[in-house]
Amino acid sequence: MEDYDGLPAPVRKWVAEAALPWSVTSVRRIWSKSRAKGLSAEETLQSLAHAEARTLARDRQSTVFKLNSIT
């Protein structure tokens, strides 16, 4: 919990509303890389949202493939 509390406030808010259970390590890595590239806080939050969307899409495709293999 201490690691979570150490995240910037906008990131904690994003994680609290995220569809996936993000680890502090993953969120911090994306946040740090994006900020190092000079992205604003808002742009960095968008990067997190895009990463989540990609993960959800990949999971959805995997599930569809598995379901199609069964039938």
Indicate the domain borders of the chain. Answer: 2-70
Specify the DSSP class assigned to residue 37.
T
* Rounded-to-integer distance, Cα 25 and Cα 4, Å: 9
CA–chain centroid gap for 48, Å, is 4
pLDDT averaged over 10-residue windows placed end to end, the chain, 71 residues = 90 95 95 96 96 89 58 54
pTM for the structure as a whole: 0.76
